Structure 1
Amino acid sequence: MATTSLVIAGLAALGAFGTSLIASKREARAEAAYPPAGRFIEVDGTRIHAVVAGDGPDLVLIHGAFGSTRDFTFDFMGRLSDRYRVIALDRPGLGWSGRADASYARLFADDAESPVEQARILAAAARQLGADQPIVVGHSFGGIVALAWALEHDPAAVVSLAGVAMPWPGELGWLYTVNGTSVGGALVPPLITALVPEDRLRNGIESTFAPQPAPDGYAAHIGPMMPVRRGPFRANARQVNTLRPHVVEMSKRYPTLTLPIEIVHGTADSTVPITVHSGPFSELVASANLVTLDGVGHMPHHVATDEAIAAIERAAARAGLR
């Protein structure tokens, strides 16, 4: 019996080693193909990756879950950099940015950076770039970070693109639930990094855009393997899994917001439903202006780019920057 147990343990260890080796090789290939496109800024020991382009009023872009600055550098930044100084930031733990605290990166950790903590670090990074009072644009998870920035750091305005804003009913999907736990977050990501087919990742991108298709070349630009590297995958799962209590607390303070807030949200968004998030938020905050896009899904800045840019222009005008 003891010999059998040792054999089983040895095979399990060999399997884990093989999985780790494959994951490492896939990560190395992805990182070589998609190196940092910008510069690094250190904030209290946390390294933040920033891509900066253009001249004009400062505009900060904050990506969503499983995202990075590459979501914006595909096309969106180029549509804005002729009249704004655009600063795209990788959120802590994602893209090429480091974790806000080493404890979050532990193998069996179950906590992660809150929206307020992320906003503090990103606002400090923006200040180091000379952006003391920017317009802050947040997509999806980036929307709640933008609102935390508004509550804590006095930006000129906020623009939410299909952004998280309010507490949601029900549970998260199994992927987040399992990987948000300390054990699941330790054991599952190596399997996903090592074994998930790239076709499956590309299908995931298409489902995020649905009912619209992803633009030609989008998947190749962002690098489907980059978000499923073990570190970013764990960071994303744990940030999402621990998010709701922070949103509950933030929502109590929303009526105090008076800065210009522009919101663009599609009615067909099943990832961050407008009826749960932007709709109720706009009723709480008098300074919020909600533009509803009929039949548009979760990626309005790519499939309804003119409307997203118009919201930024309105925010700039309302803030006295235009």
Structure 2
Amino acid sequence: MITVPIAVLGLLLAAMGFSAWKAHAIEQEFPNHGELLDVGGYSMNSLHLPAGSDADLPPIVFVHGAGGNLRDQETAFRPSLEGRAELLFLDRPGHGYSERGGDQNGFPDGQADAIARLLEARGIDRAIIVGHSFGGAVVASFGLRHPDKTLGLVFLAPATHPWPGGVDWYYELAAQPYIGWLFTRTILVPAGLMRLDQATKSVFDPNPRPSEYLTHGAPALAVRPRNFRNNAIDVFNLNGYAKRIAPEYSRIKAPTVIISGNRDGVVAEEIHSVGLSLDIEGSELVWIDQCGHKPDYVATEVAVAAIEKIAGRDRNLDAVAATLDVRTAKAD
């Protein structure tokens, strides 16, 4: 007779084997199309697109949000901006195909420093830095810590300020030592894949998720055990970090635009976007009516106009936003 402990061990080993196999299958489906560069003892992955011969904008760097990778922002912005500027789409440390590095990369300031070193490795002196969601916290830290490399900042539905409450239970569990490691290598992968379709729809809600987002944005990469655990640590650490750092945002002097949907169900726009607009003197807050947490996709033209405005063009962002015909999803 098989004893209960041996049976449990067998189930755990089977779950770990399935998770490892599935993570490899995801990587086969979505292989790395960036380039790994050393940023001080570990490598960061990025996709670098040189400026065209008739480029009219300065370099632009894109920082993805929680559970994302460089393909997310590449899919949103490459069609509009390729050739117009030197573009850098990156995997934050521990995400996509970037290595994690040290414990400092569990916080936005460590990731901002890593991005600064990546810019140096790419030969980019100064750039407009664009960040979505959690990437907004990294961009804010970049503006604080590396003003010499910052031409301007664009925040898209940012998560930058402390909020009441905590994080989802699965993030809290995955972030824990030992048990988090086991959770992400057994239960998480099959459960995460089953929820991926609905979870990505929820991020876009109330707007429809683009039909090819699951393939072009490759969100399945975030379900791999190591990536999910790194993401969970990032999210778990963010509130405490924001409590320490948000009072410093008033020191940011770079030209700043904040673009936020007024129906964001992921982050509280009245805390984060409004907070940033109050903290950063001279910043401009642009509201997108009927938009959820993905203005990078729903209001791409407003974000591009914001980049152009920071680059010195005459752009009325509220007028551009007013021309949008934002679609909302029909109930299933």
TM-score, with structure 1 as normaliser: 0.90
Partner of 1:25: 21
Q: Secondary structure at the match of 1:74?
A: helix
**Quick check: 23-32 or 183-192, which moved more?**
183-192
Q: Residues 100-119 of structure 1 correspond to what in structure 2 (within 5 A)?
A: 100-101=101-102, 104=103, 113-119=106-112
Which of 202, 217, 225 is 2:220 aligned to? 225
Q: Kindly tell me the number of residue pairs found equivalent between the two proteins.
A: 306
> Does the 8 A contact of 2:76 with 2:296 survive in 1?
no
Could you tell me how far 1:223 is from its partner in structure 2? Answer: 2.8
Could you tell me how far 1:193 is from its partner in structure 2? Answer: 4.4
Which of 234, 251, 259 is 1:256 aligned to? 251
Partner of 1:44: 40
Q: Secondary structure at the match of 1:164?
A: coil
Partner of 2:262: 267
Q: Distance in 1 between matches of 2:244 and 2:261?
A: 26
> Does the 8 A contact of 1:90 with 1:96 survive in 2?
yes
Partner of 2:272: 277
Q: Distance in 2 between matches of 1:117 and 1:126?
A: 14
Structure 2: runs of 5 or more not aligned: 314-332
Structure 1: runs of 5 or more not aligned: 105-110
> Does the 8 A contact of 2:175 with 2:229 survive in 1?
yes
**4+ residue runs over 6 A deviation:** none
Q: Residues 17-166 of structure 1 correspond to what in structure 2 (within 5 A)?
A: 17-55=13-51, 56=55, 57-101=58-102, 104=103, 113-154=106-147, 155-166=150-161
What one-letter code is carried by the residue in structure 1 that aligns with 2:82? S
Q: Secondary structure at the match of 1:79?
A: helix
> Does the 8 A contact of 1:147 with 1:165 survive in 2?
yes
Q: Secondary structure at the match of 1:76?
A: helix
> Does the 8 A contact of 2:189 with 2:223 survive in 1?
no
What one-letter code is carried by the residue in structure 2 that aligns with 1:41? L
Q: Distance in 2 between matches of 1:169 and 1:257?
A: 25
Q: Secondary structure at the match of 2:126?
A: coil
Q: Distance in 2 between matches of 1:308 and 1:184?
A: 40
Q: Distance in 2 between matches of 1:81 and 1:234?
A: 33
What one-letter code is carried by the residue in structure 1 that aligns with 2:167? L
> Does the 8 A contact of 1:262 with 1:314 survive in 2?
no
Closer, same or farther in 2 for the Cα pair 1:10/1:26, shift >3 Å? same
Closer, same or farther in 2 for the Cα pair 1:197/1:146, shift >3 Å? closer
- Give the root-mean-square deviation of aligned CA atoms: 1.7
> Does the 8 A contact of 2:36 with 2:44 survive in 1?
yes
> Does the 8 A contact of 1:202 with 1:224 survive in 2?
no
Q: Distance in 2 between matches of 1:298 and 1:179?
A: 24
Q: Secondary structure at the match of 1:290?
A: strand
Could you tell me how far 1:73 is from its partner in structure 2? Answer: 2.2
Which of 5, 9, 17 is 2:5 aligned to? 9
Closer, same or farther in 2 for the Cα pair 1:192/1:298, shift >3 Å? farther
Q: Distance in 2 between matches of 1:283 and 1:75?
A: 28
Partner of 1:108: none
Which of 177, 186, 201 is 2:196 aligned to? 201
Q: Distance in 2 between matches of 1:296 and 1:43?
A: 36
Could you tell me how far 1:83 is from its partner in structure 2? Answer: 1.0
Could you tell me how far 1:93 is from its partner in structure 2? Answer: 0.4
Closer, same or farther in 2 for the Cα pair 1:100/1:197, shift >3 Å? closer
Could you tell me how far 1:74 is from its partner in structure 2? Answer: 1.9
Q: Secondary structure at the match of 1:48?
A: strand
Could you tell me how far 1:273 is from its partner in structure 2? Answer: 1.6
Could you tell me how far 1:112 is from its partner in structure 2? Answer: 5.6
What one-letter code is carried by the residue in structure 2 that aligns with 1:70? R
Q: Distance in 2 between matches of 1:99 and 1:197?
A: 21
Partner of 2:322: none
Q: Secondary structure at the match of 2:46?
A: strand
What one-letter code is carried by the residue in structure 2 that aligns with 1:220? T
Q: Distance in 2 between matches of 1:289 and 1:134?
A: 19
Q: Distance in 2 between matches of 1:175 and 1:198?
A: 14
Q: Secondary structure at the match of 2:130?
A: strand
> Does the 8 A contact of 1:135 with 1:156 survive in 2?
yes
Closer, same or farther in 2 for the Cα pair 1:306/1:66, shift >3 Å? same
TM-score, with structure 2 as normaliser: 0.88
Q: Distance in 2 between matches of 1:197 and 1:181?
A: 18
Percent sequence identity is 31
